[in-house]
A and B are shown apart, each in its own frame.
Chain A
Amino acid sequence: MHAFANPARFLKLARPLTPWCLGLGLALIGYGIYAGFQSPPDAVQGETVRILYIHVPTAWLGMLGWMGIALTSLMLLVWRHPLAAVAARAIAVPGALFTAVCLISGSIWGRPTWGTWWQWDGRMTSMLLLLFLYLAYIALAGSESETSSTERVAAIFGLVGAVNLPVIHYSVVWWNTLHQPPSLSLQGSAIAWPILWPLLWTTPGFTLLFAGIVLMRMRTLIAENKKLARMRRLARA
């Protein structure tokens, strides 16, 4: 990991990796959605089960994004890795967007399936809290990057916010909620194979797309930091 502390070395890897992540991600999502519309309707949910092929990956990305922020925050605080703050800031916006998409697609799925757009149950409320954490992180990291180069406050916030992740995961176990318990676990799947398999395409597809977007945003931030450093040098001269 320390090998990539040098932005030039990181860019050498990120430049060829970006189109691969984006291209492969879009291809997997495209095929997964096509397969999702070929699969049979669910016995209980009917045709609305197809919404889960986009809802589940976006929920996963919302949580994965914050895991990334927490990990890079730890790297920044412990090892002062120079790219850790850049990575955390690059993850925040796509993480927030996919969390918002997860909440909206879940709400659209809930109306015909549960008969309601929204319920203040454990899973939905903790996901909404995750969205607010992302928005606060974006504001904090944005303002801190203008005043300091260390971004320690945002990193501490990123670590503390990770407490919400197990709450999201176990909310359907700890509380008797409207949201169903986990359908997928290491022990197996409660979903029938013909309905499950398109999810095995869209989930890695969205994950690769997310990685491609984060790489693009990291490249943007590195270029902007370089420009800013040059302007500061000129101002001092």
Chain B
Amino acid sequence: MNPWPFVFAAYGITGAATLALLTWSYAAMRRAEADVAREDAA
């Protein structure tokens, strides 16, 4: 059995899931902090 498709699948899923979580967490943090800053300024 060729092992490489399994290796790349495992790395691909881990990379995609980690990047998605990072992007989502960063975007949510920026949005929430910007909302508070806007309200503080108002």
Contacts and interface: CB of A to CB of B under 8 A. Distances in A.
Interface string A2-15: 00000000000000
Given A101-B17, A216-B26, A217-B25, A108 B10 contact: yes
Contacts of B18: 101, 209
Main secondary structure of the interface of B (DSSP, over half): helix
A22 B29 contact: no
Contacts of A22: 22
B6 A94 contact: no
Contact of B13 (A46, A104, A223, A226): A104
A111 B22 contact: no
Interface residues of A, number: 32
Taking residues whose C-beta sits less than 8 angstroms from the other chain, chain B's interface range is 20 to 34
B9 to A, nearest CB: 5
Interface stretch (A48-56, A67-75, A128-136, A182-190): A48-56
B14 to A, nearest CB: 5
Main secondary structure of the interface of A (DSSP, over half): helix
B1 interface: yes
Contacts of B6: 48, 51, 108-109, 111-112
Given A22-B22, A47-B4, A100-B17, 9 more contacts: A46-B3, A47-B7, A51-B6, A51-B11, A104-B13, A108-B6, A213-B21, A216-B28, A220-B29
